[in-house]
Amino acid sequence: MAGLLVLADDLSGAAESAGALRVRGSRRAGPVRIGLWPTRITDHDTVLDLDSRHLTARETGARVAEVLRVAPGRTVVTKIDSLLRGNLAPVVRALGGAVVLAPALPVAGRTVVGGRLLVEGRPLAETAAWATEGREAPATVSDALPGVATTTITLDVVRSSDLIAQIAQVPAGTVVVCDAETDDDLDLIVTASHGRPLVGSAGLVAAVARALPAEAAHEQPDARNVPRLVVVVGTAEPTAQRQAEELVDAGATPVDLPCADVLRGTAVAQLAQAVSRNSLTVVRLTGTAHGRQLSRALGRVVADAVGPADLVLTGGETARHVLDALHVPSLRFLSQIEHGAVRSETPDGRHVVTRPGSFGGPDSLLRIVRSLNPELLPPLEGLPMSSSTSPAIAVTMGDGAGVGPEIVVAALLHPSVVENSRSVVVGDAARLRLAADVLGVDVKIVPVEGVADAVFEPGRINVVDLELLPADLAWGQLSPVAGDAAYHYVRVASEMAMRGEVQAICTAPLNKEALHLGGHVYPGHTELLAELTGTEEVSMMLSTPTLKVIHVTTHIGLVDAVAKIEPGLVERTIRRGHTALVAAGNANPKIGVCAINPHAGEGGLFGYGEEAEKITPGIEAARADGIDARGPLPADTLFFLAGRGDFDLVVAMYHDQGHGPVKVLGIEAGVNITVGLPVIRTSVDHGTAFDIAGTGKVDTRSMVEAMRQAIEVAPRPTQD
């Protein structure tokens, strides 16, 4: 990515741009580095935070000009605020030439039509987006560029073959303002610009990245457990304050610093003492704030007090001042946890999450902390280990010749699983002991009759021992005996569920060919469990720490999927998702329902009225029973809103509509959940891996996450 340089006016915008380069459909896979002005610009810089939001127009223009002087030959894209806030005019003047300006950010519902910026279809000037700016919002994009010559390329031209010619004939010194409603529109604008300076939102940055040649993928570092984490709420946004309160309620230690003490620099000792004594600290401000002066002082206090702790920094100004005080010259992008919440690494190895203060739902900070290290917080429901109110989970061992025994042992020794569930394996005790030897772990494998006589303590695995496998069963070889055994593990687990002994089943992988050779012809776990439990219809739900998606249709062709969708199926899918989330403790989940066509059909412009015919009646039927279901909504908009926390569940109409966003968002922790059964069932996202079975090389994280998701979604057992 050495040829691309993205300029942003603050740290939040720079981090969002880094996320756009790596997340929103880009084929760019190389490392992303975020440079912090005035760091020396190198070929490895991909995004540069100019820290110019507070500067005068003259200072902003000078800073942009300086970058262009020291980085000749680079493809420069300037990321601006998608609500047109900040010093836009001096930026475009400094860039020179016929600048192409496309501020639309479709993923956030911000579009440009007829030269006017619309927010969820409403003109910017009619919203409250500029309420804290001290001046009126511009009526048009051109109005945000006083004294600058502009011309507008309307949407019909953007989507026509005349776009290249229209942009090419614009004279130097005139800014080309482009309409755009979709990411496809932004792709067309980038292609037609032919090297002209580009200015726009993070959506335009992603379009630029998509247009560049692909790079070879690189490995991201494994997630690590952080010994200490400090969350700094450096914004007065009510949203951030509520998020901090949620984090404190979950067990984080609050440190409330009076603004006066921060400004005097006398708050360092208080914060340092709290950080040294607690693994998770939340810093909040009390008293009257003093804007930039306060955020600069807070940055110095945090830098002096936190030691080597990792950081979560909300609010762009505060984040930048903390990093400046720590003498951090640049950041290396690692991942995007949720929209706008970007995880990066400093040159000395510290991990930092930055996020705008107003972003995310009430549990945004909780999600961020859990993604860094879930062990920094108490169990999800605040339950003590082995509590009778912890969910009981039957864990099927899968195909004994594959990696199932290894991943089961590893998962049931993980602290988060031990502390939050009562888990019993259905399998073969002798095979689990062999797996423990392969992994080199010291564990007690204890046969039990069921959950009632199991003892739950660290270092112990309880197993309902069916004794079906021979002692000499070879690792990594197809075996009818192993296939037959895998069937009976599932059978016994389903019987336990039907008796109410367990609230969830977590399945290690079975081998379909071995299953068939063993005399049990089923396509897989889902169909087998449906028959064993007498269930006619089930749904697939993908569950991650930040997003849950349930599917109306799954493994059928797209044409067949559209034909199969009908109001009854949509309603039943909504109800199954609602029931699953309510059982997991969410009393009133917010459910967003995807449309089939782009823009939800846009009043008949796209498609043949499928939304009104196939989806809306199902939503209305669910709403009539008090279910908070909304839609049909355009899928691109809905997944953005769900990603930032506005919805608890997304209902996707077909396989790739749901699976695609989960995978593109880079969420490795996705788990498949079957809902509609009398019991919750989760599974790993891989197969039996015969090629490495019995070697100890298997990655066990997916099974751990499958267990965590089973714990989260499973209903709590009723008490007598």
What are the tens digits of pLDDT across the range 33-48? 888 888 777 666 589 9
Predicted confidence band of residue 1 (pLDDT cuts 50, 70, 90): very low
Residue 668, pLDDT > 60, answer no
Higher pLDDT, 552 or 421: 552
CA distance 489 to 242: 45
* Residues 202/102, Cβ–Cβ less than 8 Å: no
**Which has the closest alpha carbon to 665: 508, 507, 549, 551?**
549
Instruction: Check the CA dihedral 407-411-414-416 and report its sign.
Output: positive
What is the arithmetic mean of pLDDT over 575-586? 83
- pLDDT in the model for residue 442: 78
| Count of Cβ atoms closer than 10 Å to residue 73 Cβ | 6
> For residue 664, what are the CA distances in angstroms to 24, 223, 660?
7, 18, 6
Predicted confidence band of residue 522 (pLDDT cuts 50, 70, 90): confident
Predicted confidence band of residue 89 (pLDDT cuts 50, 70, 90): very high
- H/E element holding 558? helix 558-564
Residue 385, pLDDT > 50, answer no
Predicted confidence band of residue 358 (pLDDT cuts 50, 70, 90): low
- pLDDT in the model for residue 318: 85
What is the arithmetic mean of pLDDT over 646-672? 78
Residue 602, pLDDT > 50, answer yes
Higher pLDDT, 387 or 87: 87
Predicted confidence band of residue 670 (pLDDT cuts 50, 70, 90): low
The region of weakest confidence among 164-173, 342-351, 667-676 is: 667-676
* Residues 296/270, Cβ–Cβ less than 8 Å: no
Predicted confidence band of residue 326 (pLDDT cuts 50, 70, 90): very high
| Count of Cβ atoms closer than 10 Å to residue 191 Cβ | 13
pLDDT of 111-141, one tens digit each? 999 999 998 788 999 887 787 677 899 999 9
CA distance 707 to 374: 13
- pLDDT in the model for residue 287: 82
Residue 26, pLDDT > 50, answer no
| Count of Cβ atoms closer than 10 Å to residue 481 Cβ | 16
Stated length of the chain = 720
360 DSSP 8-state letter: S
- pLDDT in the model for residue 669: 52
Residue 251, pLDDT > 50, answer yes
What is the arithmetic mean of pLDDT over 685-705? 83
599 DSSP 8-state letter: G
SS3 310: strand
SS3 245: helix
Predicted confidence band of residue 304 (pLDDT cuts 50, 70, 90): very high
* 82, two tokens: 């998608």
Higher pLDDT, 195 or 202: 202
The region of weakest confidence among 186-195, 372-381, 601-610 is: 372-381
Residue 217, pLDDT > 60, answer no
- pLDDT in the model for residue 665: 59
**Which has the closest alpha carbon to 485: 430, 541, 561, 439?**
430
CA distance 93 to 97: 8
Please state, for a pLDDT cut of 90, what percent of the chain lies above it.
Answer: 42
Residue 373, pLDDT > 80, answer no
Beta partners for residue 630, in sequence order: 592
What radius of gyration, in Å, describes the C-alpha atoms of the chain?
27
Residue 165, pLDDT > 60, answer yes
What is the arithmetic mean of pLDDT over 161-169? 92
Q: Mean pLDDT across the chain, nearest whole number?
A: 84
**E-only strand ranges, 485-574:** 504-507, 539-543, 548-551
**Which has the closest alpha carbon to 365: 251, 262, 288?**
251
CA distance 564 to 635: 19
Residue 248, pLDDT > 60, answer yes
CA distance 593 to 649: 8
Instruction: Check the CA dihedral 379-384-385-390 and report its sign.
Output: negative
- pLDDT in the model for residue 200: 95
* Residues 364/545, Cβ–Cβ less than 8 Å: no
CA distance 251 to 376: 9
Predicted confidence band of residue 718 (pLDDT cuts 50, 70, 90): low
CA distance 427 to 448: 11
* 238, two tokens: 């009510």
| Count of Cβ atoms closer than 10 Å to residue 371 Cβ | 20
**Which has the closest alpha carbon to 148: 122, 170, 119?**
170
- pLDDT in the model for residue 383: 34
Q: Which of 235-244, 323-332, 692-701, 706-715 has the highest mean pLDDT?
A: 323-332
- pLDDT in the model for residue 535: 84
Residue 482, pLDDT > 70, answer yes
What is the pTM assigned to this prediction?
0.49
**E-only strand ranges, 404-526:** 422-427, 444-447, 460-465, 504-507
Please state, for a pLDDT cut of 70, what percent of the chain lies above it.
Answer: 88
Residue 71, pLDDT > 50, answer yes
CA distance 363 to 180: 32
Residue 335, pLDDT > 80, answer no
Residue 384, pLDDT > 50, answer no
Burial of 258 (0-12, 13-18, 19+ CB in 10 A): middle
As a three-state string, the secondary structure of 191-235 is: HHHCCCCEEECHHHHHHHHHHCCCCCCCCCCCCCCCCCEEEEECC
- pLDDT in the model for residue 305: 93
Residue 381, pLDDT > 50, answer no
CA distance 586 to 143: 46
